[in-house]
Amino acid sequence: MSFSDGSAENKGSSLIVSRVFGAIASTVIGYALYQSAIVATAADWSEFYGLVQTDRSYLAFCIDPILFALFQPFLLMRVKNELQPIDYIPLFGLIHWLFTVEPVSTSD
């Protein structure tokens, strides 16, 4: 049994899921950027820096975007023919791809 039976209904629902996931991710990232840039105070940042030094989960929050920046272009190259400059920016390249993904056409 094949998961991609090529029906138009599956392609349409796949595009909808892709767009909804992209919209949710955009909202979460936008809110996080707003909180980090506008709402966070210098005391919040110094507390975060202290937690990064003492707690491994906070350290992972700092290292993961760096690793994602390194691996995201390789992952996107598997589903795209040509990379664009935005594809090298962690998460933004992925969200861009979610909004621009085209339906896969099968010639069965």
Total number of domains constituting the chain? 1
pLDDT of amino acid 84: 86
* Average pLDDT value for the chain: 83
- Provide the whole-model pTM: 0.65
- Packing angle of the helix pair 8-34, 92-100 (nearest 10 deg): 150
Residue 1 lies in a domain: no
Question: By residue range, what is the domain housing residue 59?
Answer: 8-100
pLDDT of amino acid 2: 43
Residue 108 lies in a domain: no
pLDDT at residue 3 tops 60? no
DSSP code string of 15-62: HHHHHHHHHHHHHHHHHHHHIIIII--HHHHHHHHHHHHH-HHHHHHH
Residue 106 lies in a domain: no
Distances (CA, A) of 56 to 28, 67, 71, 91, 97: 23, 16, 21, 22, 31
**Average pLDDT for 49-61:** 94
pLDDT of amino acid 1: 39
